[in-house]
Amino acid sequence: MADILFTKIEQDGKKTTDNHLVGSINPDALSLFRSIAESVNSGFILFDSEFNIHYCSPIADRYIERCGAIDLSLAAGTDSKVNWKQVLSDIFEQRRVTRLTAVRYCFQRKNRLLDILCIPILDAQGCVSYGAVVLDDVTDTTLRENAMIQGERLISIGKVAGKVAHELNNPMDGILRYLNLAIRVLEQGNGEKARDYLIQSRNGLMRMVGIISELLEFSRGTHQAMEPASLDRIVDNALGMMSGVLAGIEVCVEKHYDGQALMMRNDNLCQVFCNLIKNAADVMEGNGSLTITIGQDGTDWVVRFQDTGPGVPPELMTAIFQPFFTTKTSGRGTGLGLAICKDIVEKHHGTISVECPPAGGSIFTVRLPAASGLSTTSS
């Protein structure tokens, strides 16, 4: 149908008077297209390689402000850093399909969240004749999903409250015991022994501070925004910050992609990578190798951390991401590190998983969709 619909009528030079149509397009095919486009709850916009709008459905007119050209119309109500001219040019130059989810658009003093799909329209010869933008209002759906996520977060916080009390109670008992011992030996004039007891008390307090700090990070609704950085730069920064714990461990970074790595708006991923590097260093105890691989899998970006440690037992592969679950000895970990990593990665609409290859060791994989970064998603 595309070759019929988008064949311009040049012999009669007539122009339509339709309020939603600009330009000269086969009217019979257009009537069929309009009946389809206007029977669904989505907005449709058709445009040419010069970004001139040739058709805009009534629903699309309610969603966005028409400013003559499609790129200007999309940019008029968005505050994102999407290069609309480039996205739309790629439709014609590379036949690229671009999907952007939950884009905030302000029109007539109303904020909407729109899923925006930009696609090429091919004619019978396989050439891109026109581009199309499909708009879906996901405001209510997104708000409901966010409310559910927040509700689940509060439930999760409630479930771990008892574990928090348990984790804090243990060092607190120890602190009180050592303080009482310190008072007793001071009364006996044994200052050196009192000093040892006070040091043990301080260690207990530092453990409590660590537990509280990590719990606050886990329960925080949003994470601190930092300067944009590429995935490879974030990995390099994390390795630099963790250089002290990597003594004696061979580190290899492999990059399997062309061009520039995904740019991220939020550098909290550095915290994720630091935690995974530190965990790998802890289990290898200064003897082994860590291979970090950065690459792409379709439209997703993947960062893998493979160590030569003892690996993770199959029955614990899910449990290790739960708050306060730890395989480390008492006093060496709070069990919140991987839970925080999972929380941060999921805020980027990504996933984190672990597997143990037959050769030994473990592989932690962080998968991030391109849409979570500063670039657009293409397929």
> Distance (Å, rounded) from C-alpha 290 to C-alpha 52?
53
Which CATH number describes the domain made up of 224-379? 3.30.565.10
pLDDT tens, 304-331?
999 999 888 887 777 788 766 666 555 4
Which CATH number describes the domain made up of 2-137? 3.30.450.20
Angle at 39 (CA atoms; ends 35, 43), nearest 5 degrees: 100
Residue % of the chain over a pLDDT of 70? 76
pTM assigned to the model? 0.46
pLDDT tens, 138-197?
888 888 877 787 777 677 666 656 556 656 776 787 888 889 999 999 988 888 889 988
Residues 6+ apart with CB under 8 A from 133: 43, 44, 45, 47, 60, 70, 74, 116, 117, 118
The stretch 84-101 carries a mean pLDDT of 90
What is the crossing angle of helices 139-187 and 191-219, to 10°? 170
* pLDDT of residue 70 exceeding 90: yes
> Distance (Å, rounded) from C-alpha 136 to C-alpha 142?
12
